[in-house]
Amino acid sequence: MVVNLPSSEHVALAAVVVLAGIVAWDAYWLTKQRRDVPELGSLPGGGFAWESEGVHEMIRQWGNLGSMAAMMVLPWALLEVSDTPMMYAILWDVFLALHLISLLVPKRYAITSTHLFADGQRYPWERLRLAKRQPKRRIMLLRNGWGPFGPLPLGGDGASLGVAREYIRAMEEARRLPTKSTNEE
């Protein structure tokens, strides 16, 4: 039985289209974060909001940045062997560069009594927990049920992260405390 594989051009086109979709999706969430976290500092209903800087995002995303650098180089080594048009490698690198830039854009974070706002998304506290081992220059939360894909690092300056840690610990402590029954006398 002979299996006909798709052409390298079709595979390259599919890869570039998927990557373009990821870049567009990230751009949407980046624009949404300003609407979700319009003010910084102590929040009126309780909670705390802060903004990182590019250097904080570099520290936060160092692993992803290294992976993307490798992903930008790899197609060039395979172009000739796979007989793929150079245009797809160029498009791949352009979209990866845009994605890389989106990772370095300063982000806004907020902690409320019910949710964490990070990367333009809202995470309920029941689905998050502080990692046992914490890095020095960021906060590492874990998303319950995500396994190895669950790390959610938060960036920011030391002072903001210190305040955020206190709020996160208070949220975790509040979850651990048993609620009193209204029938107690």
Q: What is the pLDDT of residue 178?
A: 59
CA 16/CA 88 separation, integer angstroms? 7
Q: What is the pLDDT of residue 99?
A: 92
Q: What is the pLDDT of residue 177?
A: 64
Q: How far apart are the first and last CA of the chain?
A: 78
pLDDT tens-place string over residues 117-152: 998 889 998 899 888 888 888 899 999 988 877 888
pLDDT tens-place string over residues 15-67: 999 999 999 998 898 888 888 888 899 998 888 999 998 888 888 888 888 88
- Tokens standing for residue 161: 């992260």
CA 38/CA 15 separation, integer angstroms? 35
CA 93/CA 85 separation, integer angstroms? 14
| This prediction's pTM | 0.76
Q: What is the pLDDT of residue 97?
A: 94
Instruction: Say which residue the tokens 């197609």 belong to.
Output: 75
Which of 108, 153, 103 has its CA nearest to residue 133? 153
